[in-house]
A and B are shown apart, each in its own frame.
Chain A
Amino acid sequence: MKITDLLGKQRLIADGGTGTWLQTRGLVPGELPDLWNLTHPEELIALHSAYIEAGANMLTTNTFGANPLRITDDLEKITEAGVLNACKAREMSGRENVFVGLDIGPSGHLLRPMGDLDFEEAVNAFGRVIRSGAPYADYIMIETMSDSLEAKAAVLAAKENCDLPVFITLIFDGSGKLLTGGTPASSAIMLEGLGVDAVGVNCGLGPDGLLPAVEEMLRTVSIPVIANPNAGLPSVEDGRTVYKVTPEEFAQEMRKIAEAGASVVGGCCGTTPVYIRALSETVSSIPFHRPSPEKKTVLGSFCSVLSPEDKPLLIGERINPTGKKRLQEALRAGDTDYILSEAIRQEEAGAQILDVNVGLPGIDEAGFMRKAVTLLQSVTTLPLQLDSSDPEALEAGLRVYNGKALINSVNGKEEVMRSVFPLVKKYGGLVVALPLDENGIPETAEGRIAIAQKIIARAEEYGIPRTDIVLDGLAMTVSADQRMADTALRVIRCARKELGLHTILGVSNISFGLPCRPILNGTFFTMALTEGLSFGIINPCSEEMMQPYRAFCALMGYDRDCADYIAYYKDRKMTAAPSSAPAEPGSAAAAGDTEAHSALSDAILRGLAGPAAEEAKKLLAFEEPMRLIEEELVPALDIVGRKYEEGTLYLPQLLRSAEAAQAAFALIREKIPQGSAKKGRVLIATVEGDIHDIGKNIVKVLLENYSYDVLDLGKDVPPEVIAETAVRENIKLVGLSALMTTTVTAMEKTIQELRRLKPETKIVVGGAVLTEAYAKTIGADAYAKDGMATVRYADSVFGN
């Protein structure tokens, strides 16, 4: 009998806490319980036996802390012993329907980019434990995960290292969220997409506290749900942590969870065999049922769930290098900050999903996709559409995507379906289906629908339901064939009504080659929305696209009480040409007086980014860009810099002025021929082990304002990467930042590596824990107490 023969068909009883019990047997606070697998196996066998006696079907092994990041000696032995101890107890009991789960606890580290643990390193660490214990276990029990990305790493490790069923439970706080912000719904849909056999909650709270999370999961996913709460909240009596909820109270509270439809019920901290016996006896009289919520088309980020069944959704299209010179430059230079700024800009403009396409000849698309997805998830909570024709790039992004992504795309070609569907199956996601095949794009709606049906049928062979398929109507330009708009709209209409599929369109494709494209795009968008379009790929920063969307939502009731429409438009006036968002209150433009801050320098001195950009734009119509830099930007910055150094102006003001100069510079640089106007190139980085980078970023902004080209390697950068980059890029000046006493040693190593590989490079260092004297001790050429000092040093190095 396998556990999957019973799971979801009858209620299973999981065991309870381990640490609580072992403490009564002599485990001292702070001692790692896992070590007892080798030193006190009889205690573990006794514990497992007691749980079997109490009625538990599922035993979790004493391997919660077994992870190579925590245990370096005898990890495999400890893990194996943990599983074998549980197997021994089962054997001794002679009972049937008792299953042993290899317990996998969290690694103790937070994953990048918020933490320092690399995703693949986490997968490998979990994988090592799983390979040791899985041969003897019946299932994998991943538990107490407080970060959905780490949960994903553990699930992938399980799937890639064994064939056992995978169960996973997460720990939510009192507000119903994971440490990293996930909700029961957002994490459950991601985990269901990864193919886990059961999902649920454990630890943190007692049964009543966890009931809402359990119910939310039961409403969201159709796989079995597990609930292993604590015995209430802990308190301290006579120096010992105790859980005041009695076994009977615990069991009574668990009734509600059993009645709600949880397939597995058990306990966590504070629970012992007595609790599990009470639980088992209490729930035995409750008939088992398992809710099966209707399957919906959903996608999500790490903390949100979206569905086009609630309203049509907007996908921001700006992170796509096609026709975008600035983005292409950023991709070639590895400038992720520009990509992140475009993401934030689109989010603020109203996009609900962001397209991520980093395909450009000559760059490592898979590597960049991985990096972009990782970083985007640190600055936006929006779900992402991973957009690539390269399955390797899609997989790179899907692997680190924290949620359920939109995957663009698959089509009717056999080769493409064979390469994309396995990725959708393995990682989960909504997949965009393009109705084209080896014969090209059908000209008729009927032809496209036929291909769609073929794609749906093939997807079902992979176990991918049609609710996870989104059909692209294929908007093609009417300038080539005027039937194309009507064809696309008919596909949309038919997909929804006859195939039950949600739909998507790259809206602006409809007008390629025609003048005044926004007029056509906006009109076509409205028409498509009326036909039931689910996802529109548009530029959310274009008012011509956002107007029809807002109006449609208000008119059709998706925008309840027209609240969003009113909030957005109440202070705006109708103009002949749609204008962009109103200027900030207090700025010259808002006052209608464009002359009030006419001097570019004045705007920079006053730290007004909006007016600085406006003024630069006006001046560029008739001034040479280099003149603006040399005679306006730099002198203004010099005044600001001097005042800062004199102590009459402070860092926030310096930053505002620097940002105003940057806003102007962003426009000026577009007019400058590539490669010119740079005073020199500086490499900057925060050293290995250190993730503080605000100071470094301030230095970068100031150096760029002073016309230096800055190669920013980011934070937590190993010495060899800095040194090798300096050699490869022939860097004359390196700036290193460290903010912790524990990381200045990495700074010293970096300097040694640089001296070894490129001794002529000058090195300037900075950071809160550094001093002039210490900088000399570790071999730096200079110490800069702040960003301005770094600029002055750069001037001295480059002879400016």
Chain B
Amino acid sequence: MQIDRPDRKKTRLLEPDPKEIWRYCGYGINVPDEDELSRIENTKEQLLDAVEPCCVWECCDLLFGEDDLLSFGGLSVRSRSLSKVLQGCSAVIMLASTLGLAPDRMIARAKITSLGTALRLQAVSAALIEAYLDRFTEELRALPSFSGTVFRPRFSPGYGDLPLTLQKELLPRLRAQQTVGITLNDSLLMMPSKSVTALIGVERCLTDTEIS
């Protein structure tokens, strides 16, 4: 398995999707007023100075079995939704990523001083982990070892019929506690809370020769 751990300079370049932030803040498809936009911007700056994004990942061969059984990296799971997403793939990337405990600490404090700030921290950090993973996935895709492949969209435990209980095997498999500091509580909630586990299907593109 490998670990990605961008430094502060690279972390500060992350650009969370503003529309996602507004949605998490309860604006739906509307745009916040100037005041709120300014507050959101301040929150984003505070988080960019504090978060420590990292990701542990491993690429494994993927085997399809009967009745939507999928096997990869020593794990097995039955899921129609995941089977559909991974159809045509020969490998799967397992990953676990987190922003670290900083957002949780900041939110815990803000819950005491200002719930509005807590809400903003929650919204921005949720968008931030997605932004980190989007960038990380692009970088992964650009690696020489993945040349000639196409990645499927990220699919996480809890999506469709992929059971959340898969976390109990996926996290230890990636040694997530030792490598990136993610633990799982009895309700299958990850801590730090701004953590994501996901599977990315890897489809090998046919070469021109193969096509002809």
Chain A: residues with CB nearer than 8 A to chain B?
A: 28-31, 106, 108-110, 113-117, 144, 146, 171, 173-175, 179-181, 203-204, 233-236, 239, 241, 337, 340-341, 344, 378-380, 647, 650-653, 655-656, 658-659, 689-691, 693-694, 697-698, 701, 740-743
Q: How many residues of B contact A (CB 8 A)?
A: 57
Closest Cβ–Cβ distance, residue A133 to chain B (whole Å): 21
A-B contact pairs, 28 of them (CB 8 A): A108-B172, A108-B184, A110-B183, A110-B185, A114-B101, A114-B104, A115-B185, A116-B189, A179-B181, A236-B1, A236-B2, A341-B113, A379-B112, A650-B25, A650-B26, A652-B25, A652-B26, A652-B36, A652-B116, A655-B116, A690-B189, A694-B111, A697-B111, A740-B188, A741-B158, A742-B188, A742-B189, A743-B187
Does A694 lie within 8 Å of B101, measured CB to CB? no
Q: Give the Cβ gap from A740 to chain B, nearest Cβ, in Å.
A: 6
In the complex with contacts A689-B185, A694-B111, A234-B2 CB distance below 8 A:
yes
Residues of B within 8 A of A236 (CB): 1-2, 58-59
Question: Are A30 and B187 also in contact (CB < 8 A) when A650-B26, A659-B116, A697-B115 are?
Answer: no
Q: A174-B5, A652-B119 are in contact. Are A108 and B39 (CB under 8 A)?
A: no
A108 contacts across to B, CB distance below 8 A: 172, 177, 183-184
When the two chains form their complex, are residues A116 and B186 in contact, meaning their CB atoms are under 8 A apart?
A: yes
Given A106-B177, A239-B60, A650-B27, the answer on whether A344 and B187 have CB atoms closer than 8 Å is no
Q: With a CB–CB cut-off of 8 A, which chain B residues contact A180?
A: 101
Q: Does B135 contact A (CB under 8 A)?
A: no
Provide the bound-state CA to CA distance between A31 and B74, in Å: 9
A109, closest chain B residue (CB): B183
| B residues 152-197 touching A (CB-CB < 8 Å) | 158, 164, 169, 172-173, 177-178, 181, 183-189, 191-193
B27 — which chain A residues lie within 8 A by C-beta? 650-651
Q: Which of B25, B75, B113 touches A30 (beta carbons < 8 Å)? A: B75
Contact A30 B172 (CB under 8 A): yes
Q: Are A690 and B5 in contact (CB under 8 A)?
A: no
CA distance A337 to B112 in the complex (A): 6
- Known A-B contacts: A239-B61, A697-B111, A741-B158. Give 6 more (CB < 8 A): A28-B74, A115-B191, A181-B101, A234-B3, A652-B120, A653-B36
> Are the C-beta atoms of B105 and A378 separated by less than 8 Å?
yes
Smallest distance from the beta carbon of B141 to chain A beta carbons, Å? 16
For the A-B complex, the count of residue pairs with Cβ-Cβ distances under 8 Å equals 148
A344's partner among B109, B164, B186 (CB-CB below 8 A) is B109
Report B165 CB to chain A, min CB distance, Å: 9
Indicate whether A233 sits within 8 Å of B108 (C-beta atoms), given known contacts A181-B101, A655-B119, A701-B115: no
A339: nearest residue on chain B (CB-CB)? B112
Whether the Cβ atoms of B115 and A203 lie closer than 8 Å is no
In the complex, whether B201 has a CB less than 8 A from a CB of chain A is no
**Are B112 and A341 neighbours in the complex by a CB distance under 8 Å?**
yes
Chain B residues whose C-beta falls within 8 Å of the C-beta of A659 in the assembled complex: 114-116
Whether B108 and A694, one on each chain, are in contact in the complex, defined by CB atoms closer than 8 angstroms, is: no
Distance between Cα atoms of A114 and B107 in the complex (Å): 11
- Residues on the B chain within 8 Å of A691, using CB: 185, 189, 193
Q: Are B177 and A146 in contact (CB under 8 A)?
A: yes
Q: Which B residues lie within 8 Å of A694 (CB)?
A: 107, 111, 115, 118-119, 122
Specify which of B107, B181, B188 lies most central, judged by the most chain A CB atoms within 10 Å of its CB. B181
Contacts of B173 in A (CB 8 A): 29-30
Most buried by A among B27, B58, B74, B112: B112
Which of chain A's residues has its CB closest to B158's CB? A741
Taking the closest CB of chain B, its distance from the CB of A335, in whole angstroms, is: 11
Q: B73: CB under 8 A from chain A?
A: yes
Inter-chain CA distance A729–B117, complex, in Å, is: 32
Chain B 68-80: CB-based contact to A (< 8 A → 1; otherwise 0):
0000011100000
Taking CB as reference atom, which chain A residue is nearest B25? A652
State whether the Cβ of B18 lies closer than 8 Å to any Cβ in chain A.
no
A162 to B105 CA separation, bound complex (whole angstroms): 35
Alpha-carbon distance A96/B30, docked complex (angstroms): 75
B164 surroundings in chain A (CB, below 8 A): 741-742
The answer on a CB contact under 8 Å between A379 and B116 is no
Chain A residue at smallest Cβ distance from B145: A236
Q: Does B20 contact A (CB under 8 A)?
A: no
Q: Which residues of A contact B73 (CB under 8 A)?
A: 29-30
For residue A651, which residues in chain B have a CB less than 8 angstroms away from its CB? 25-27, 119
Chain B residues with CB under 8 A of A233: 3
- Using A30-B73, A239-B60, A650-B27 as known contacts, say yes or no to A690 and B187 having CB atoms under 8 A apart: yes
CB distance from A115 to the nearest CB of B (A): 5
Q: Are B108 and A379 in contact (CB under 8 A)?
A: yes
Assess whether B101 is in contact with A235, with CB atoms less than 8 Å apart. Answer: no
Once the chains are docked, how many angstroms separate the CA of A694 from the CA of B104? 12
Q: Contacts A379-B109, A650-B25, A742-B188: A234 and B101 contacting too (C-beta < 8 A)?
A: no
B2 touches A114 (CB 8 A): no
B187 and A179 within 8 A (CB): no
Residues of B within 8 A of A647 (CB): 28
A656 contact set on B, CB distance < 8 A: 116
B32 interface residue per 8 A CB criterion? yes
* Per-residue interface assignment for chain B, residues 28 to 59, with 1 indicating a CB less than 8 Å from any chain A CB and 0 otherwise: 10101100100100000000000010100011
CB neighbours (8 Å) of B58 from chain A are 236, 241
Question: B121 to nearest A CB, angstroms?
Answer: 9
Q: Within 8 Å CB of A114, what residues of B?
A: 101, 104-105, 108, 191-192
- Give chain B residues whose Cβ lies under 8 Å from the Cβ of A204: 178
Q: How far is the CB of A400 from chain B (nearest CB, A)?
A: 16
Check B115 against A698 for contact (C-beta < 8 Å): yes
